[in-house]
Amino acid sequence: MSLGVSASATAETTVSVALSAVVGTLLGALVGAIFGVVMALPQTGFFGWFFFPFFRAERHLGALSRQTLIPIPGLKKALVHRLEADWDDGVDSLNQLIAYSLQFYCAIKAINVALARSRPRSLLTRVSRLAQAPFDWQLLRYGTADIGNALRAQLVQGLVLVPRRWRAAWQARYPSSPRLDTPARSACAGFWSWHTKDATMAADAFRQVRDLPFGSELSDIADALEQGGTADTLDGLDDWHTRTAWLEALPTERLRPGTLTALTLLRRATAEVHKAQTTRAPLNRQTALARAGALLQELIEHGAETCEQPEWPLVHAMAEGWRDLVVTAGGKAGDEVERQRADNPYSGYAGLPVHPPVFIGRSGAIGEIRRHWANAEDPPVIVLYGHRRMGKTSILRNLAQSLPKGAVLVYLDAQGILADDSGQFLLDIAEAIHTRASHASLDPGPLPSSTDYDTLGHASRQLKKLLARLAPQMTESRRLILAFDEFEVIQDRINDGHIDAKVLGFLRSLNQAHRWLALIFGGLHTMDEMGNDYRSAFYAQTEHVRVSYLSRADAMHLVTQPHPDFALEYDDALCDELYRLTYGQPFLLQRLCWAMVERWNDRFERERGAIPRVLTLDDLAPILDDDLFAATAYYFEGVWSNVSPAEQMLMTVLAGHESPWHQDELEASQADLDGELTPTLRSLRHHDVITEDDEGRLMYASELLRRWVERRQAVHGQVPNLCPTE
């Protein structure tokens, strides 16, 4: 009995133990599963509950502290599918996912899979899109670094109770630096390095993908940013300009157009630095550096509007560093300028033709010439008239720069044509045409020979042959222009019998036979004032273009800005007086300014630079002397000889009083002119001698001309005072 009880008790005990083991195993598994989940949640898991006092997860994990290692089932596969179906939409979804969930780890895995599967032609475009304002730049970081190793290394770093050398040894087992072993990782490494402002690492990374589409663009940009970031001297900027010559030939399709625009602006700035480094003139160096500084400041202020991220902070830092560099250098160049004489740019002071930048204010006359010739089937003969030293020769010599592309300008100065007969005159024309046509890559045939131009008949036939040879080469866009300067000299040669008057008619016949041939004459007179030979040959189809005084705005431009690097200033009172004295006559203006600059330079030498670089009325008064009127006599004599005796007498009367005249006062004082006063005044206006003030009173246009006439009369005899008020 006792044995039976004992056996029964033993059986019950065995069953109880077995049940306890099963229950214990199940509970252990459940607790283990819960523990595993908790361990996977750093915010509320094991480390947060137990090691919180010793482990600073938020500080060391950064973005990794906001993620879970347990993904939503099927999420990674769905993300990869969405990225491959539409990359832009997939990236937007990815940014939203990591912004509003803890699935950062899953997002990284999906990105890496999608990039690894990307075709070479689309890889860099995809990574560039990923780098376009990502919610978290760690997306790019862990596109190249091992996120698992980074997590382990950062967890180890947070174990502050573990000795530092132990932690360092453990961390070394988990490398998480950028990897460049695949194109996808190299591309991510490049953009991540730009974000962290590591230009050297970015350059290394993008070199690995240079052979991919857009790879050379990214590699060149990275090299430019790396080299530019280390350029801290003007020589360094000049060297950067040489290294970035590729910016001059950019492809049409670009991956980072805003960055390329910013780099192009930087290149423009370094081009100015190059000018500063190669010029010898301190003023030119200062001006070039000032232009460079202005370009850099423009980029600093507005570059963020177009330049892509993450390149912009690197570009911005370059621009700021370079600006400070060129400003400092510009200040030194400015100090050097202050210690030098001023270059005298008024090249027209001697009455010779001028060229840009001193050729100013003739756009109206040139525009009128172009309008007369535009689309004209039978181009009219142009007569460019005005008194001497007004700028006619300068217009003719600079006309080629304003004509349509393909036009060939043949300039002939009649004063330089010393032909003994008509044949030689036409030979001079033929040789000039042959020379200019050859320079324009036309084929004018053999050089004209003097034996073929021995008579007017032979010369006319040979000139016709020359033009006939050119005719097939003169397309619709081409035009040959014969410009005769000082054309009244030709009339003088006709009058003295050296040139046959028939030559003028022959020139007009050539003009009519070839629509691409145009004639323009520059001189003192209109066709009405010229000889019968001109009128009979050209009057039917002639257009007159007047060359008169410069406008006040153009005159002040010529005075104050004769050259971009002009180193002196004019005060307002001096500008007003210069215009009053000259009325904008370009030769007189340049003569006065040239003399003032020469005088200023003399003072500069005597006083060793201790004078202001501003010209005032005090600089003008000393040069209004006999030497000035002697130097400008050719101009004044030309005006005087170009008017009639009646006009000369009236000019003498008007010169006797500085104040303007009312016309009725003049009529009362000049009763002997009777009905000739009005046409005489009209002719003086036509020849730019007199003008009217705001009250309609008559006065000399140029005060210097009035003073010259007054001086002339003092030498040749006094005219009675005819003013009725005195």
Between CA 367 and CA 365 the distance in angstroms is 5
Which one-letter DSSP state was computed for residue 549? Answer: P
pLDDT at position 53 over 60: no
Q: What integer best gives the mean pLDDT of the chain?
A: 80
Query: Is the domain 363-546 a CATH 3.40.50.300 member?
Result: yes
Tell me if domain 552-630 and domain 632-716 are identical in fold.
no
The confidence band for 201, taking pLDDT boundaries of 50, 70 and 90, is very high
With bands split at pLDDT 50, 70 and 90, how would you rate the model's confidence at 615?
very high
What pLDDT shows up at residue 37?
42
Residue 443, amino acid: D
| Distance between CA atoms of residues 564 and 281, nearest Å | 13
pLDDT (mean) for 95-118: 85
Structure tokens at 496: 């003295």
pLDDT for position 696? 80
Domain boundaries, the chain: 2-39, 214-340, 363-546, 552-630, 632-716
pLDDT of residue 674: 61
Q: Residue 534: its pLDDT value, please? A: 60
Are 722 and 669 in contact, with CB atoms under 8 Å apart?
A: yes
> Which of the two residues, 245 and 1, has the higher pLDDT score?
245
Distance CA 62, CA 49 (A): 19
310 cis-preceded (ω within 30 degrees of 0): yes
Q: Report pLDDT digits (tens) over 474-488.
A: 877 778 888 888 887
pLDDT for 221: 92
| pLDDT category of residue 589 using cuts at 50, 70 and 90 | very high
* pLDDT of 671: 56
Backbone angles phi, psi at 483, to 5 degrees: -110, 110
pLDDT classification of 62: cutoffs 50, 70, 90: very low
State how far the Cα of 726 lies from the Cα of 722, in Å rounded to an integer: 8
pLDDT digit string, tens, across residues 690-702: 888 878 888 898 9
Q: Give residue 376's pLDDT.
A: 57
Could you please state the CATH topology (level 3) that the domain comprising 552-630 is classified under: Helicase, Ruva Protein; domain 3 (1.10.8)
Task: Identify whether the C-beta of residue 177 lies closer than 8 Å to the C-beta of residue 170.
Answer: no
> What 3 state SS string does 310-345 have?
CHHHHHHHHHHHHHHHHHHHHHHHHHHHHCCCCCCC
**pLDDT confidence of residue 536:** 59
Residues 204 and 190: their CA atoms lie apart, in Å, by: 8
Beta strands in 319-425 (DSSP E): 381-385, 407-413
pLDDT of res. 41 = 44
Average pLDDT over residues 664-683: 73
Residues 515 and 518: their CA atoms lie apart, in Å, by 8
Q: Report the distance separating Cα 686 and Cα 652, nearest Å.
A: 17
More confident residue, 143 or 16: 143
Of the pLDDT bands very low, low, confident and very high (cuts 50, 70, 90), residue 537 is low
Q: Which residue from 259, 182, 191, 181 is spatially nearest to 221, judged by alpha carbons?
A: 259
Higher-confidence position of 197 and 280: 197
Name the helix (H) or strand (E) containing 699: strand 698-700
Task: Write out pLDDT tens, residues 409-452.
Answer: 888 887 777 677 888 888 988 999 999 999 988 898 889 888 88
Give the rounded distance of the alpha carbon of 210 from its chain centre. 32
pLDDT in the model for residue 24: 54
Average of per-residue pLDDT across 533-554: 75
Q: What phi and psi, each to the nearest 5 degrees, are found at residue 546?
A: -85, 135
The pLDDT-based confidence of 15 (bands split at 50, 70, 90) is very low
pLDDT confidence of residue 49: 33
Distance between CA atoms of 677 and 683, rounded to whole angstroms?
10
In sequence order, the 6+-apart residues with CB closer than 8 A to the CB of 3 are: none
489-500 average pLDDT score:
81
CATH class of 632-716: mainly alpha
- pLDDT, residue 481, reads 86
Lowest-confidence pick of 315-319, 362-366, 439-443, 629-633: 362-366
Neighbours of 475 (CB within 10 A): 9
Average pLDDT over residues 25-33: 52
User: Mean of the pLDDT values across residues 308-330?
Assistant: 91
pLDDT for the residue numbered 526: 63
Q: What band does 59 get if pLDDT is binned at 50, 70 and 90?
A: very low
% pLDDT > 90, the chain: 23
Per the model's pLDDT, the better-predicted residue between 40 and 54 turns out to be 40
- Determine the 3-state secondary structure of 677 from DSSP: helix
Q: Once rounded to an integer, what is the mean pLDDT over residues 499-517?
A: 84
Length of the chain: 726
